[in-house]
Structure formats: structure tokens, C-alpha cells
A and B are shown apart, each in its own frame.
Chain A
Amino acid sequence: MSVAEFFDMGGYALYVWSSFGATAVLMILEPILLRGRRRAVLQRISRLIRIRTEENE
């Protein structure tokens, strides 16, 4: 089986790669978005703590 044959998927290339492609994109994107969310939450809390300690001083 050649590489071109493999990617052609017996004529079903559009359907097979759209299915696997969409699944791959979303399952890679979600952990990246989660990392961003965690970073944002930590930043917000650190800022909150800083503001409070400044108020108390």
C-alpha cells in the first residue's frame, strides 16, 4: 500500500479524514483551553489576594 493509496482511503478520503480530523482537533484543543483557564484562574486569585493584603496594610 502506497502513501497516496493510504490517504485516499479507497475513495472515502473526505469522509474518513473529516471524521478523524474533527475528533483530533477537538481532543487536542480541549486540554489547551483547560490550561489557559487554569492560568487565568490562578492569576485572578493571586491578584485578589494581593489587593486584600494591600487593603489590610
Chain B
Amino acid sequence: MSSRIINWFKFSSPASFYPLAGKLVPIFMAAAVILIAVGLYLSFFVAPTDYKQGEGYRIIFVHVPAAWMSMFIYLVMAFWAAMGLVFNTRLSAMMAESLAPTGAMFTFLALWTGAFWGKPMWGAWWVWDARLTSELILFFLYIGYIALKGAIDDTRRGDRAGAILLLVGVVNIPIIYFSVKWWNTLHQGASIDMKTGSSMASIMLVTMLIMALGFWMYTIAVSLSRVRSIILERERDSQWVRQLPEVQG
């Protein structure tokens, strides 16, 4: 029992997490490249033409995975924020920080691909619909978090302020998710429902899931890569950083 606890906390130290992350990055990046390559092949050459939206519906294969990631990354950041506040571990805040730019990127992509899907199907690039508006607020939350962290010089204070912002903003996630149920919106309902299952042809669903899994792997790879830079920046005065071969050379 006690040994298990020690092992668990071992990797919460930046010094031991840094090399571990370095080993994991290429593995996750390779998985991302393979999954996204397969996903793109299925998106364009296997998935059939939609009977209502023609070829235009293929946007779904980037739109939905990007939108899922935008919400999921935020939840993971909020989890790290809570961990940081409760256990006061240094690494938690760094993990949250490492995810923010990628989360903002996927939120932007969800809005962007949504606009390019909305124009041909609804006739408008943008409508002030509940789903779209709450997703836009999510984008502002990411930007606000990044700006707040950048504005506070004291790292520990910045970590705490950022964590509180993240936890308050969590309220937006269920609003985005359930917006299509709670309000009458132009945006279509969930593609996958917990109770009724999927409303799509199974090959379309498989394609979307493979793309989503690829985006997942990509997110893990880039956030681990970014956290390595953050660790180096923050721990630059410590002995273990000075002894790294990449710093020595």
C-alpha cells in the first residue's frame, strides 16, 4: 500500500516527470499521425455521401472531434487546477498551463469549421444560437486564462488565480453540452446520445471516433512536449536542470 502511494507521487515531481514526458511524446505523436491518416482516408474515400448534405457533411469529421476536444481539454485543465489547489503540487499547474493553447486552438477550429459548415447548410456563417454562443464563451475562457497567467509575474500567484478562473469557468461546459437539449437551437442535436445511441451510419461514426482518438493522441503529445519547456523555464535554477545533457551541450 505505502509503496504504491510513493510510486504515484514520484511522477508529480518535475524532475522525474521531465524525462518520462520526453519518452512519451514520440509514442503519442506516432499514434496521432497513424490514427489521423486512417481517419482522413475514411473521411474522404470510405464514408458515403450524405443523402441530405451531399459531400458538405464531411466537415463533421473535423468539426465534431475538435468540438469534443475543446470541451474535454477544459475539463482536464479544471481537474489539474483542482489538484493543484488541494495538494499544492507544482506539476498540476504546469499541466493545466500546457493544455491551454491546444484547447484554445481546438475551440477556434470548432467555431471555424462550424462557420464553414453553417454557411452552406443554414445560409449563415454565424448565428447567436445557444450552442455557438456558449462555445464562443469557452474560447474567451481559454484566452482569459492564458492572458491572466501572462499578466501575473509571481508564478505561484498566477497558478492560483488561473486555477480559480478555470474552476469557475467549468459551469460553461454543461451549458455547451446540453444547449442543444435545453433550448431550441439551429444547431443539430448530439450525434451520439447516451440513451438512443448514434444517429449516424456506423462507418461515419467509426470515422469520427478514429479522428477524435487521433486528436486525443495529438493533444497528449503536444501538451507533454509543452510541459517539458514549462518545467525547464520554471526549474531553471535547480541542480537537476543544470545537469541535463541537453543543457550542458
Q: Is the CB of B54 within 8 A of A10?
A: yes
Chain A stretch 14-43: residues in CB contact (< 8 A) with chain B: 14-16, 18-20, 22-23, 26-27, 30-31, 34, 37-38, 41-42
Q: A10-B49, A23-B66, A34-B225 are in contact. Are A42 and B56 (CB under 8 A)?
A: no
Q: Taking each of A18, A27, A31, which has the highest tally of chain B beta carbons within 10 Å of its own beta carbon?
A: A27
| Chain B binding surface SS class | helix
* A-chain residues with CB within 8 Å of residue B221 when the two chains form the complex: 31
The residue from B29, B116, B228 contacting A31, defined by CB atoms under 8 A apart: B29
Q: Is the CB of A34 within 8 A of B54?
A: no
The residue from A31, A45, A49 contacting B225, defined by CB atoms under 8 A apart: A31
The residue from B59, B228, B241, B248 contacting A38, defined by CB atoms under 8 A apart: B228
* B-chain residues with CB within 8 Å of residue A23 when the two chains form the complex: 62, 66, 109, 113
Interface flag for A56 (CB, 8 Å)? no
B22 CB → nearest A CB, Å: 10
* B-chain residues with CB within 8 Å of residue A16 when the two chains form the complex: 55-56, 58-59, 116
In the docked arrangement, what's the CA distance between A14 and B109, Å?
16
Interface flag for B117 (CB, 8 Å)? yes
* A-chain residues with CB within 8 Å of residue B225 when the two chains form the complex: 31, 34, 38
Q: A19-B63, A26-B109, A34-B226 are in contact. Are A42 and B232 (CB under 8 A)?
A: yes
The residue from A11, A12, A45 contacting B247, defined by CB atoms under 8 A apart: A45
Mark each residue of chain B from 85 to 104: 1 if its CB lies under 8 Å from any CB of chain A, else 0: 00000000000000001100
The residue from B44, B63, B102, B120 contacting A12, defined by CB atoms under 8 A apart: B120
| Chain A binding surface SS class | helix
The residue from A10, A15, A30, A45 contacting B116, defined by CB atoms under 8 A apart: A15
Q: Is the CB of B246 within 8 A of A19?
A: no
Q: Is the CB of A37 within 8 A of B59?
A: no
A30 CB → nearest B CB, Å: 6
Chain B stretch 105-126: residues in CB contact (< 8 A) with chain A: 105, 108-109, 112-113, 116-117, 119-120
Chain B stretch 16-65: residues in CB contact (< 8 A) with chain A: 29, 44, 49, 54-56, 58-59, 62-63
A40 CB → nearest B CB, Å: 8
Q: Give the interface of B toward A (CB within 8 A).
A: 29, 44, 49, 54-56, 58-59, 62-63, 66, 101-102, 105, 108-109, 112-113, 116-117, 119-120, 218, 221-222, 225-226, 228-229, 232-233, 236, 241-242, 246-248
Q: Give the interface of A toward B (CB within 8 A).
A: 6, 9-12, 14-16, 18-20, 22-23, 26-27, 30-31, 34, 37-38, 41-42, 44-46, 48-49
23 contacts between A and B (CB under 8 A): A9-B58, A11-B56, A15-B59, A15-B119, A19-B62, A22-B112, A22-B113, A23-B62, A26-B109, A27-B105, A31-B225, A34-B222, A34-B225, A37-B226, A38-B225, A38-B228, A38-B229, A41-B233, A42-B232, A42-B246, A45-B242, A45-B247, A46-B247
